[in-house]
Amino acid sequence: MSNTIRFEVDAGGIATLTIDVTGKPVNVLTPEFHADLAEAVGRIEADATIKGVIITSAKRDFMAGADLKDLVTVHDRGVSAAEAAAFSGSLNTLYRRLETCGKPVAAAMNGLALGGGLELALACHYRVLADAPKVIVGFPEVTVGLLPGAGGTQRLPRLIGIANALPLMLEGKRVKPAEALKLGIVHETAAAGDVIARARAWLATGPEPLAPWDRKGFKVPGGIGMQNPGIVQTFMVGNALVAKATWHNFPAPPAILSAVYEGCQLPMDRGLAVESKYFGKLVSGAVARNLMRTLFVNKGLADSLARRPEGIEKTQVKKLGILGAGMMGAGIAYVSAQAGMEVVLLDTSLEAATKGKDYSGKLLAKGMQRGKVTQDQADALLARITPTADYAQLAGCDLVVEAVFEQRDIKADVTARAEAVIGKNTVFASNTSTLPITGLAQASKRPGLFVGIHFFSPVDKMPLVEIIVGKKTSKEALARALDYVAQLKKTPIVVNDSRGFYTSRVIGTFANEGMAMLAEGIEPALIENAARMAGFPVGPLAVSDEVTLELQWKITRQTEQDLGARFVRGVGYEVLEKMVSLGRLGRRQGGGYYDYPADEPKRLWPGLGQHWPVRAEQPPVEELKKRFLFIEALESARCFEEGVLSHPADADLGSILGIGYPAWTGGALSYIETVGLPEFVAECRRMTRLYGPRFRATRSLKKMAGSGQRFYPLPTAGKAA
């Protein structure tokens, strides 16, 4: 019948629609599927011999929803909110036709059902879900700046009640079969091979082809409207929690609340129209574009190793050497052993190396307490980590990662000692966060196999790895580094060599701007809160405490020593120097900008006001938010102009996943496009006059603003979502 749906009718009049969208690993909502489903529904409506319908999938999973690669272009194509709403409206109309076709329809969900796939199932009268470990259902749309736009905001609350439905949509939570059954999202669960038989058994009972909300006297479980105190409280609390979690930077959560509140007080068809209106506003907006482009499209490309050089055979690390068993080395050992690698964890003494291995033991103990790790799994992982002080044990390693102190002479020493043992084709990687790879590679006898692999702390939680290509780093070394990161199931970005590379260089501007504000007499709490209100996970003073002011000072002094007369003091230099002289070195050293009392929340150190008195008149919070967003975006633009970055996607992924740039922006370079390049350059001009040359727009930004260029090319203009 089509390239997306197989339509078969058996002798008993049961039509089976088997979804199989060609060319896609999972079923997604494509224009062709939409047309084929419309044709199928028309046939179901018109054919009196069809007594019932089963919808299932030929693929491992049922359906994953809309193809975000299409939706991501809506904003840049200039599609209006009304036009985008029509896309949602057409899908709602189609699903509603299926729901009211006069024939009972059962969904035989043989695998996961997310987004529009779950919405298709909800438009069926009966749902059987496969009970298997990897099967989940849910509405993840909020994570990419959208709301369920094919009936989800209307059917789910009517089915399981508003109090149960809102968290699933506001948090993008996915639930397993048992919970889906308990909540009432599905009617029964069965083995994957039995879902069609169970759906057929339900049809054999001769059920009435009506959804609950189409029955006379239907009421939303738990109630709806201002007359219900419990529901009023649900929405009041929901609004407060959304505001606290998003600082009003993400439009999707309040849109979900509004669609549910307004739509569920209306008949279904009018409620669906309300949903489509809000969907149109979201999908045509910049925030949804930013989230879809960076965290779905570009992340997917990075995870599939889009930056990997072609023509080089894929490799796998079976044995890994790690030099340095401190926090970073210990974290790298854990994630590598978790990925199945044999790990040699080397330090200056067996005691120090064993302490590094103990870090993995502590993480595993927590995992066992939470029921996520078994004793056998923990024992097997720990058995793969060998602590040692003997360089000879590095023999046979496929890759060595150096994670010692940020001092050039120490790194040079361990490089030479390791290279005396490892094979001639073993890649050597430095986990340095700031020192140029080209300079460190001077201590290597084979700089072509020397590469930077920069992890973020804590390694077990941070998803990003920054790979740095030195002047002599070969394509083979880059490819093998990327293969290693893929084994860890982390997201890589690739940058060219520079002092601080990309992420450390950019987050340094964030910390410096906080110190500059402190020196200006801005209230420390206002500095921290402004950053959080902009969408940063923590303020610049808290970040400095976590990184440690001691490390920042060592890096600053090393840079000063390396550059000599070319060194320029940053705006935070004097503040940092003062804090170090006062012994306020950071959280691990007992306190920095914050105090850390035992068994109490951290609090800003009262002594800050003594050394940097707070001025009487404080600036607007919006101005402080802008300073943080602009200073990191500007440094990203400088990195792009200087060739540290070759692709804007690496800047956007690196800034969000590595250093906490607000996700709603899509990343540092996407933020510039969200503001608009001409507007961004004009604002830089104003801020330069107020705060100094660090806010001066780069030459390439000015050129782009004048010529209408962008970091990401515009898609072909169009009028359909």
Q: Provide the strand spans (E) within 124-163.
A: 126-130, 137-138
C-alpha–C-alpha distance, residues 188 and 586, integer Å: 54
- Average pLDDT (444-455) is 96
Q: Give the Cα separation of 342 and 318 in Å (integer).
A: 6
Element (H, E) at 430: strand 427-430
Q: What is the mean pLDDT of residues 97-115?
A: 97
Using DSSP bridges, classify how beta strands 5-9 and 14-19 pair: parallel, antiparallel or unpaired.
antiparallel
Q: Which residues are catalytic?
A: 454
With 80 as the cut, is the pLDDT of residue 232 above it?
no
By three-state DSSP, how is residue 64 classified?
coil
Give 504-707's CATH code, choosing from 3.40.30.110, 2.60.40.2580, 1.10.1040.50, 3.20.20.70: 1.10.1040.50
pLDDT at 720: 43
Nearest CA-CA partner of 719 in 277, 87, 92: 87
How far, in Å, are 282, 283, 292, 631, 633 from residue 68 at the CA level?
13, 10, 7, 31, 26
Q: Is the pLDDT of residue 679 over 90?
A: yes
Residues 515-537: tens digit of each pLDDT: 999 999 999 999 999 999 999 99
Which pair of tokens denotes residue 419? 């290279």
Segments making up each domain of the chain, as ranges:
5-284, 319-494, 504-707
98 has pLDDT over 60: yes
Distance separating alpha carbons of residues 448 and 450, to the nearest angstrom: 6
Which tens digit of pLDDT belongs to each residue from 618-668?
999 999 999 999 999 999 999 999 999 999 999 999 999 999 999 999 999
Strands lying side by side in the sheet with 319-323: 385-388, 342-346, 319-323, 399-402, 427-430, 450-455, 464-469, 491-496
CB 548 within 8 A of CB 587: yes
Does the pLDDT at position 721 exceed 80? no
- DSSP per residue, 337-396: HHTT-EEEEE-SSHHHHHHHHHHHHHHHHHHHHTTSS-HHHHHHHHHTEEEES-GGGGTT
Task: Assess contact for 607 and 581: CB atoms under 8 A.
Answer: no
Please choose, from the candidates 510, 528, 468, 520, the residue with its C-alpha nearest in 3D space to the C-alpha of residue 492.
Answer: 468
Q: What is the pLDDT of residue 233?
A: 67
Mapped onto helix, strand or coil, the DSSP state of residue 16 is strand
Q: Does residue 410 come out as left (phi exceeding 0), alpha (psi in the -120 to 50 range) or beta?
A: alpha
Q: Is 17 helix (H, G, I), strand (E, B) or coil?
A: strand
pLDDT band at 478 (very low <50, low <70, confident <90, very high): very high
The pLDDT tens digits for 52-80 are 999 999 999 999 988 888 899 999 999 99
Q: Please tell me the predicted confidence (pLDDT) of residue 242.
A: 75
pLDDT tens-digit readout, 320-352: 999 999 999 999 999 999 999 999 999 999 999
Separation between Cα atoms, residue 222 and residue 348, nearest integer Å: 64
557 pLDDT exceeds 90? no
Average pLDDT over residues 595-623: 94
Please give the DSSP secondary-structure letter assigned to residue 474.
-
Instruction: Say which CATH class 319-494 falls into.
Output: alpha beta
**Residue found under tokens 């969208």:** 21
Q: Specify the length of the chain in residues.
A: 721
Taking all residues of the chain, what is their mean pLDDT, rounded to a whole number? Answer: 94
Tokens representing residue 706 in the block: 């004048």
Q: Which of 1-5, 191-195, 495-499, 617-621 has the lowest mean pLDDT?
A: 1-5
Is pLDDT of 382 > 60?
yes
Alpha-carbon separation of residue 193 from 63, 108, 561 (angstroms):
17, 10, 68
Query: Is a pLDDT exceeding 50 seen at residue 227?
Result: yes
Q: How confident is the model at residue 246 (pLDDT cuts 50, 70, 90)?
A: confident
Q: Which residue has the tokens 């919070």?
A: 621
DSSP letter, residue 587: G
- Alpha helices, H only, 420-474: 437-440
* Whether pLDDT at 718 is above 70: no
Amino acid letter, residue 242 = V
The domain 5-284 belongs to what CATH superfamily? 2-enoyl-CoA Hydratase; Chain A, domain 1 (3.90.226.10)
E strand or H helix at 170, and its extent? helix 162-171
Tokens of 152: 């989800």
Q: pLDDT tens digits for 282-299?
A: 999 999 999 999 999 999
Q: Give the list of residues 6+ apart from residue 306 with CB closer than 8 angstroms, or none.
A: none
pLDDT on residue 719: 40
The CA distance from 379 to 704, in Å, is 56
pLDDT tens per residue, range 161-214 = 999 999 999 999 999 999 999 999 999 999 999 999 999 999 999 999 999 999
Q: Could you tell me which of 438, 125, 146 has the C-alpha nearest to residue 286? A: 146
Q: Which pLDDT band, with edges at 50, 70 and 90, does 225 fall under?
A: low
Burial of 677 (0-12, 13-18, 19+ CB in 10 A): buried
Percent of the chain at pLDDT above 90? 87
pLDDT surpasses 80 at 414: yes
User: Which residues touch 193 (CB under 8 Å, ≥6 apart)?
Assistant: none
- Judging by DSSP bridges, how do beta strands 464-469 and 450-455 pair with one another? antiparallel
What is the reported pLDDT for 226?
61
- The Cα 72–Cα 468 span in angstroms is 29
